[in-house]
Amino acid sequence: MRCSPTVRRSATCYVDAGLDPIVTSTDPLAKPDAPRRLSLRAPLDLLFLFCCFILTADVLGPEIFGHGKTKDYALWYWAGQQVLHGGSLYPSDFRYPFDFIYPPLPAILLAIPSWFGKIPLYIVLSVLNALAWWYTGTLSNVMTGSGRKPGPWLEALPAFVTVTFVFDMFDLGQPNLVLLAMMLYGFWCLQHQRVWLAGLMFALATAIKVFPIAVLPYLVWRRKWAAAVATAAFTGILLYVVPAPIRGFERNAAELAIWYQGMVGASSEKGFGQRDEQNWSWVNQSIIAVTHRLVRPINYNQEDPSKPPRTMNIIDVDYRTANWIVLALSALLGLGFVAVMPPQRLRTARSDAEELGILFCLMTVASPLARQYYFMWLFFPMTVLMHRAAFDERANVRLGTWLALGAGGCLMLLALPWFPNAFQAWGNNLLATAILAGSLAWHIRHPPVTAGSGAAAALKPKTS
Give the closest residue to 217 by CA, choosing from 227, 204, 207, 205.
227
- State the chain's maximal CA–CA distance in angstroms: 74
Is pLDDT at 53 greater than 90 in this prediction? yes
Q: What is the pLDDT of residues 139-163, one digit of tens each?
A: 999 999 988 888 999 999 999 999 9
Is pLDDT at 20 greater than 90 in this prediction? no
Q: What is the pLDDT of residues 412-444, one digit of tens each?
A: 999 998 999 999 999 999 999 999 999 999 999
pLDDT at 456: 44
Looking at residues 371-385, what average pLDDT do you find?
95
Is pLDDT at 398 greater than 80 in this prediction? yes
pLDDT at 266: 65
Is pLDDT at 90 greater than 70 in this prediction? yes
More confident residue, 270 or 335: 335
pLDDT at 28: 35
pLDDT at 277: 67
Cα 236 to Cα 75, 176, 204, 213: the distances in Å are 25, 21, 10, 12
Q: Which residues pair with 268 in a beta bridge?
A: 271
Cα dihedral sign, 342-344-347-353: positive
Distance between CA atoms of residues 220 and 223, nearest Å:
5
Is pLDDT at 265 greater than 70 in this prediction? no
Is pLDDT at 463 greater than 70 in this prediction? no
Cα 310 to Cα 281, 282, 295, 421, 431: the distances in Å are 10, 10, 14, 11, 21
Q: Which residues pair with 24 in a beta bridge?
A: 150
Please tell me the least confidently modeled range out of 221-230, 235-244, 301-310.
301-310
Which of the four pLDDT bands, split at 50, 70 and 90, describes residue 35?
A: confident
pTM reported for the whole predicted model? 0.87
Instruction: Judge whether 281 and 369 are in contact, CB under 8 Å.
Output: no
Instruction: Judge whether 104 and 251 are in contact, CB under 8 Å.
Output: no
Residue 379: Cβ within 10 Å count: 24
Is pLDDT at 14 greater than 50 in this prediction? no
Distance between CA atoms of residues 427 and 412, nearest Å:
10
More confident residue, 459 or 38: 38
pLDDT at 274: 62
pLDDT at 97: 78
Using a 10 angstrom Cβ sphere, with 0-12 exposed, 13-18 middle and 19 or more buried, the burial of residue 73 is buried
At a CB cut-off of 8 Å and minimum separation 6, what does 430 contact?
285, 286, 287, 290, 365, 370
Which of the four pLDDT bands, split at 50, 70 and 90, describes residue 30?
A: very low
Cα 272 to Cα 214, 266, 289: the distances in Å are 18, 6, 10
pLDDT at 195: 94
Instruction: Judge whether 145 and 458 are in contact, CB under 8 Å.
Output: yes
Instruction: Judge whether 111 and 84 are in contact, CB under 8 Å.
Output: yes
Looking at residues 274-279, what average pLDDT do you find?
69
